[in-house]
Structure formats: C-alpha cells, structure tokens
Amino acid sequence: MILEVRAVAPFYKNGFVVGCERTHEAVVIDPGDEADQLLAAVRDRGVDVTHILLTHAHIDHITGVAQVKDALDVPVCLHRDDLPLYEHAVEQGKMFGFAVRQPPPIDVYYDLSPIYFGDYEVRVHHTPGHCPGGVCLEIGKRGRGEGGRGSGKGERGSGEGGSSEGRHLFVGDTLFAGSIGRTDLPGGNYEVLMRSITDVLFHLGDTSIVHPGHGPDTTIGRERETNPFVLEYLSSA
Ligand SMILES: [Zn+2]
Ligand SMILES: [Zn+2]
C-alpha cells in the first residue's frame, strides 16, 4: 500500500494519500491546510486519485477540499449526518478566526457499499460521538475477509489478531494514540463516542493499524490495553 501523510500548522491535522502499489489508483483523505503537500505527494508518487474521502466535517479536515477538487476533479464523499457541519464551513472558520473558502458540494454520501481503488477496498463504519457523521475508513486488500464479515466463517475462526493483518483504519478524531476525541463541540456525545470506540473500532481487530486525524499512528490492541480514557470507561461500565 502506498501511504503518504502530511500535517501543517496551525491544526497539525493529518491528511493522507493512500494508493494501490500495483495500479497506482489512490484516494485522498481529509485534505486540509496541507493540500499543497498532498497534491505534491500525488505527483511525486505518480498516483491517479479516484476519490476525496472525509472522516468528518470539522473545519481542520476540510479546508483543502476545494483546492484538491479543483486540481483532481474527483467525487467528494462524506457521511450525511455531517452535512450541516460541512455546509457551515465558513462559520466554523470564523469561530477559529480563519477565512475559509466554502467547500464544493458533496458528491457521494457513504452507504454500506465499499469504495474501491486498485486492489484495495474502503469499508465505511459510522462512528459518531466526536460529531454526528464521523466515520472510520477501513482500508485493506479487496476481497480479504469475505465470508468473515457476512457469515462469520473463517475470520472468527482464525482469531482476531490474524484476520486484521494489513488492515488500516483512518479514524478521524474518534480515537488517538493515548487519547480520545473531544465531545464538547456541537453534536458531540461522550457515551456515543465510547460506544463507537469499544463496539465498532475494537471489533476491527487488535493488529489493525490506526491512523488518527492528529498525532502518531497506533494499533487497536495498544489502545485497548493502555488508553487511559478507554480503561476508565471500561472499568466504570
Ligand atoms: Zn474533529
Ligand atoms: Zn481534527
């Protein structure tokens, strides 16, 4: 898998280019103020971007959508429950004292069907709590885990560790290395967030690699065992 990560001031929000090493098809995830750097990575790696995928519509994750859409002219995808946030991008910017360009209309609302690029597939899991339309974008090789998800065959039998090998989770601001997303912004809800983390993300397997919207990578296993916010929630449940 081709993976390029960029983050710049003031938000140091991670933007990603994820591509197929064989076909060079790729997706751009959460283009923000680092849009120039992401577009440079697209050129340098020679990838052909098919979608702009958004984990959610907080301002730091969408300030670069207009620029990337202008440059690449590919569909922009978002969960429908974050449309109000997305449509108020300019107002969100004002809250932080930034002049923000209104992003282009959403082309695709996530549903249950996967999105494909090259040999890879993106499965979308709704993980509200940090905001209403937050999602986890699960990226892995196409067709992997088939039968595991639907019928419960294979994947369960081989154990969670083995089955999640090579699985990458782009979780937005739901879960961080050693921390969790804030829930004090409009539409945030602590209980809902903790259920998204423990009921949705944790079922994607301990070896799944987590790429948060800010800060370093981690794994589901590490967060399950050491994340103080998770441990506190689980001990009080
Ligand atoms: Zn956020
Ligand atoms: Zn963020």
Instruction: For residue range 198-220, list pLDDT tens digits in order.
Output: 999 999 999 999 999 999 999 99
pLDDT value of position 158: 37
Nearest-10 crossing angle of helices 35-45, 65-72? 30
> pLDDT at residue 145 above 90?
no
Query: From the CA of 234, how far away is ligand 2's center (Å)?
Result: 25
Q: Which ligand places an atom closest to the C-alpha of 129?
A: 1
- The rounded distance, in Å, linking the Cα atoms of 2 and 18 is 5
pTM surpassing 0.85? yes
Query: From the CA of 55, how far away is ligand 1's center (Å)?
Result: 9
pLDDT value of position 151: 35
Query: What are 2-11's pLDDT values in tens digits?
Result: 999 999 999 9
- The rounded distance, in Å, linking the Cα atoms of 219 and 167 is 10
Query: What are 42-58's pLDDT values in tens digits?
Result: 999 999 999 999 999 99
Nearest of 128, 137, 118 to residue 77 by alpha carbon: 137
Q: What is the mean pLDDT of residues 111-126?
A: 96
Query: From the CA of 164, how far away is ligand 1's center (Å)?
Result: 26
Average model confidence (pLDDT) across the chain:
92
- The rounded distance, in Å, linking the Cα atoms of 54 and 61 is 7
Query: From the CA of 141, how far away is ligand 1's center (Å)?
Result: 27
Task: Work out the end-to-end distance of the chain between its first and last CA atoms, rounded to an integer number of angstroms.
Answer: 38
Residue written as tokens 């441990």? 231
> pLDDT at residue 153 above 80?
no
DSSP alpha helix (H) spans, 125-212? 148-151, 159-163, 190-195
| Count of C-beta atoms within a 10 Å radius of residue 226 | 12
pLDDT value of position 164: 65
Q: What angle do CA 152, 77, 163 make, to 5 degrees?
A: 25
Query: From the CA of 147, how far away is ligand 1's center (Å)?
Result: 33
Query: From the CA of 148, how far away is ligand 1's center (Å)?
Result: 31
